[in-house]
Amino acid sequence: MKKIAIIGLGYVGLPLAIEFGKKFKTIGYDIKKTRINELKEKLDITNEVSVNDFKQSKKLSFTSSIKDIKDCNIYIVAVPTPKNHLKKPNLKPLIDASKALGKIISNQDIVIFESTVYPGVTDDICAPIIEKISKLKYLNKESNQPGFYCGYSPERINPGDKKNHFTKIKKIVAGSNKKITKKISNLYNQIILSGTHEVSSIKAAEAVKVIENVQRDINIALMNELSIIFNKMNLNTEEILKAAETKWNFLNFRPGLVGGHCIGVDPYYLIHKSTAIGYKPNLIKAGRRVNDNMGYYIAEEVCKLFKKKKIKLNKSRILILGIAYKEDCRDIRNTLVVDIYKKLKKLYNLEVDIFDPIVNKKDVWNEYKIELVDNLKSNYYDGLILAVNHKIFRNMGLKKLIMYAKKKNIIYDIKYAFPAKSVDGRL
Ligand SMILES: NC(=O)c1ccc[n+]([C@@H]2O[C@H](COP(=O)([O-])OP(=O)(O)OC[C@H]3O[C@@H](n4cnc5c(N)ncnc54)[C@H](O)[C@@H]3O)[C@@H](O)[C@H]2O)c1
């Protein structure tokens, strides 16, 4: 009988636990007690899962005690894989989870990792930790010996996107041997409507996920660079991109802020591994440099517009709309809006407010020491920056948003949300 444990119940782990809990006995485990208490009350602050989803997942329970998952036989790990202050992989959550699993797993159990990593983390780092602590052998070849198995199946969800639910996205799977790959594939096929795609090794599966995000990062970096060039030439980037897209093989990417904990982080994982094995990945690094700099670039562009319109910079008031790392998502991790805020405030001495009604104000304060504004005053700001195009802003439209600006103002649109001629600057 299958009994599944999901380790780490965030954006990835919780929806997964909900789906498995509709079919199999499933226990969601997280080290964060407050999260577990909320989940027990059917409350998901990430907004990925509704009360109805909780109700439908009849075989799911939650715990913050590792002992409660001891008699599971399938363990799926979805803990965070952030970068550290040196932009290097921070594998501590994965290492901690592996250590905890080492203490509780039994003969023939399977540990599947879903966290995004560089190729080699499962086989070379996590499995040896579990092996050492559990004293069980890692069975990465066909074998009848006692031991445990591993697998890797990257999550490819897009938080905030209610249309492309993870059950509709093909699932990449790999196991530590052929039999286990099939077993893992069969398991996911129970919940993934679009089926699975098996690859030959765990390292290959790890590589698939990381390059998906590397590819997006590089493409967005190229668009950002083009936008910088075209802005210097007073050309309309959006018009040019739309025209170029009339050719069938021109890719549909847009310039923008790359924040969050995936696209802006995962390339550093591959950079780290590549450098460690003796190859300097120049292109991937250059893409990261371009994208990491975009917040500062936008702040400078906004200041140039102030000068152009002869609005004095010092103590002028700016309202930034949105701080989440992407639209309709409450996640604020690594948001580059903070770079715009800091540069405008600290370097140019502007008074900067940020309004984002969908994120948690307390989280923003804890993470960035920024107090979000709640109530907007009409006719108050010298400039508006549309940074994140949440539904609420889309519904308001420029006509309503502009009420908060003084008559003489600058409007900067990062998201291409408004017609070019109705704003002073766009990315
Ligand atoms: N969010 C996304 O869009 C997305 C998409 C695809 C892949 N991923 C990858 O999936 C992984 C998880 O991301 P997320 O966004 O769900 O993270 P998250 O921060 O939303 O959630 C992770 C959860 O794991 C818990 N946790 C941390 N250490 C733990 C431990 N040792 N044992 C048990 N629980 C622990 C945390 O308390 C948290 O609740 C990451 O590797 C991420 O890169 C994320």
Class of domain 3-206: alpha beta
Output phi, psi for 62, to 5 deg.
Answer: -125, 150
The whole-angstrom separation of Cα 42 and Cα 39 is 5
Q: Which ranges of the chain have pLDDT less than 70?
A: none
Which distant-in-sequence residues (6+ apart) come within 8 Å of 39 by Cβ? 9, 14, 28, 30, 54, 62
Q: What is the DSSP string of 225-238?
A: HHHHHHHHTT--HH
CA dihedral 362, 363, 365, 366 (to 10 degrees): 110
The correct CATH number of 225-426 out of 3.20.20.150, 3.30.1490.20, 3.40.50.720, 3.40.50.620 is 3.40.50.720
To the question of pTM greater than 0.75 for the whole model, the response is yes
Counting ligand 1 atoms within 8 A of each CB, the residue from 90, 91, 261 with the most, and so the one to mutate, is 261
Chain-centroid distance, C-alpha 123: 24
Fold: same for 3-206 and 225-426: yes
pLDDT score recorded for residue 20: 97
Ligand 1, closest atom to CA 7? 33
pLDDT score recorded for residue 302: 96
Q: Which residues are catalytic?
A: 262
Which protein residue has the closest C-alpha to ligand 1 atom 35?
Answer: 8
Q: For residue 105, report the distance from its CA to the centre of ligand 1, in Å.
A: 21
Q: For residue 225, report the distance from its CA to the centre of ligand 1, in Å.
A: 31
DSSP E strand stretches across 98-217: 110-113, 137-138, 147-152, 171-175, 196-198
Which protein residue has the closest C-alpha to ligand 1 atom 43?
Answer: 116
Q: Which residues of 136-160 are buried (b: 16+ CB within 10 A; e: fewer)?
A: bebbbeeeeeebbbbbbbbbbbebb
Q: For residue 425, report the distance from its CA to the centre of ligand 1, in Å.
A: 36
Quick: pLDDT tens for 318-337. 999 999 999 999 999 999 99
CA distances from 165 to 8, 185, 192, 307 (A): 19, 19, 10, 46
Nearest to 322 by CA among 416, 426, 414: 414
Q: For residue 82, report the distance from its CA to the centre of ligand 1, in Å.
A: 9
pLDDT score recorded for residue 156: 92
Query: Cβ-count burial of 251 within 10 angstroms (0-12 exposed, 13-18 middle, 19+ buried)?
Result: exposed
pLDDT score recorded for residue 352: 96
Nearest to 402 by CA among 390, 418, 416: 418
Which protein residue has the closest C-alpha to ligand 1 atom 37?
Answer: 32
Pocket of ligand 1 (CB under 6 A): 7-13, 29-32, 35, 78-81, 93, 96-97, 114-116, 155, 157, 159, 261-262
Which protein residue has the closest C-alpha to ligand 1 atom 5?
Answer: 157
Ligand 1, closest atom to CA 115? 41
What ranges do the domains of the chain cover? 3-206, 225-426
Over its C-alpha atoms, the chain yields an Rg (Å, rounded) of: 24
pLDDT score recorded for residue 315: 84
291 within 8 A of 298, measured Cβ to Cβ:
no
Q: For residue 8, report the distance from its CA to the centre of ligand 1, in Å.
A: 6
